Structure 1
């Protein structure tokens, strides 16, 4: 089948992109409102794109009414946000944070998520998250139905058990983030395996033998 994205309606583009580009990591994004209230919302249009500078990107669409979501309003005002990674222990609370509460409702309180103050920005992070990234907005890229938020990571909180003994790499036995596939389907990283690339000389030699 062929799909011409230049003429395809938005709903079909969304369905195809989110069904086939996956799994997509989930960012539980926390911000602070102008009146000091906490806000939390899950985003699956999210990933890390650079380490120098350390940049993560969020893709956030507006409400059905066309108005900005609370997360975007808070990010525009403060220029700050936190990306909290989500594991199975946080999965149900993450879903609660994604419900369509009124703007004056603190999703963190509704989900009963304990928080802690950030070190370098004016926001709270989810204390039980495996790791949280404090971010400052590097730039916003505006589209009619989407804003891309490029955030520079300025601080990171990691639960100690999620790292190996040397504190350099993740411990796959304890750090098992979940990711979204399509619709209400998710996946967890509890089944990991090692793939090692062959030596380039062996590949060249094998190719030459085939000639």
Structure 2
């Protein structure tokens, strides 16, 4: 077995090792608006939930000292609002297109031909075709080495009828997209095994 001491590796080597080990990584397709109302849409594969009874989710972005804050993180901090749209297979190509870095004020919704829908509790638009969207308000943020961690308290959730069974979200109907190491994506495909404990 090959072994690595992270103290001896370059930052790039450490990042590649981590991103190929922590897989599949869920993707938060985050929509925000700046203080002038211009919208932004970008995918983040450093994303998860940290609290469930009172739902809180998080995503991370390069911080100011490591390439500068992305528009998404900047908007979330400035306005205190963002929406997390769940990426499924039919949205994969458009989601990937929105990872292109655009000048501030230009919309990734327009670039990728993504239809907008109104949120109920926050100003940013959501992705109309997302099967699940969580409307969030800023809970907190913190610096972790080269990243800014942004935490959002979930205030409102939209779930498409086609992924419900008897009024409950049915994960066998949600073909969630995740990131693998390198340029690769994967799509969830439930195995014929149900959790026993």
Please give the TM-score of this superposition, normalised by the length of structure 2: 0.93
Which stretch of structure 1 is more off in the superposition, 31-40 or 184-193? 184-193
2:44 counterpart residue number: 43
Change (3 A) 1:140 1:171: closer
1:132 counterpart residue number: 133
| Per-residue deviation, 1:66 | 2.7
| Per-residue deviation, 1:51 | 0.7
Aligned residues of 1:26 and 1:86 also touching (Cα < 8 A):
yes
| Per-residue deviation, 1:149 | 0.8
2:169 counterpart residue number: 169
| Per-residue deviation, 1:112 | 0.9
| Per-residue deviation, 1:197 | 3.0
Q: How big is each residue's C-alpha offset from its partner over 1:82-136, in whole Å with a ceiling of 9 and x where there is no partner?
A: 1001011111110111012112210001111111111011111001001000011
| Per-residue deviation, 1:65 | 6.8
Change (3 A) 1:171 1:15: closer
Aligned residues of 1:161 and 1:171 also touching (Cα < 8 A):
no
1:187 counterpart residue number: 186
| Per-residue deviation, 1:142 | 1.4
| Per-residue deviation, 1:64 | 8.9
Q: What is the alpha-carbon distance in structure 2 between the residues aligned to residue 33 and residue 60 of structure 1?
A: 17
Change (3 A) 1:65 1:196: closer
Q: Which runs of 5+ in 2 are unaligned?
A: none
Aligned residues of 1:40 and 1:71 also touching (Cα < 8 A):
yes
Aligned residues of 2:66 and 2:146 also touching (Cα < 8 A):
no
Q: How big is each residue's C-alpha offset from its partner over 1:42-77, in whole Å with a ceiling of 9 and x where there is no partner?
A: 000011122122111101114897321111110111
Q: Which runs of 5+ in 1 are unaligned?
A: 199-211
Please give the TM-score of this superposition, normalised by the length of structure 1: 0.87
CA RMSD of superposed structures (Å) = 1.8
Q: Indicate whether 1:33 and 2:46 are aligned.
A: no
Which stretch of structure 1 is more off in the superposition, 57-66 or 135-144? 57-66
Q: What is the alpha-carbon distance in structure 2 between the residues aligned to residue 169 and residue 65 of structure 1?
A: 38
Q: Indicate whether 1:107 and 2:101 are aligned.
A: no
Change (3 A) 1:72 1:114: same
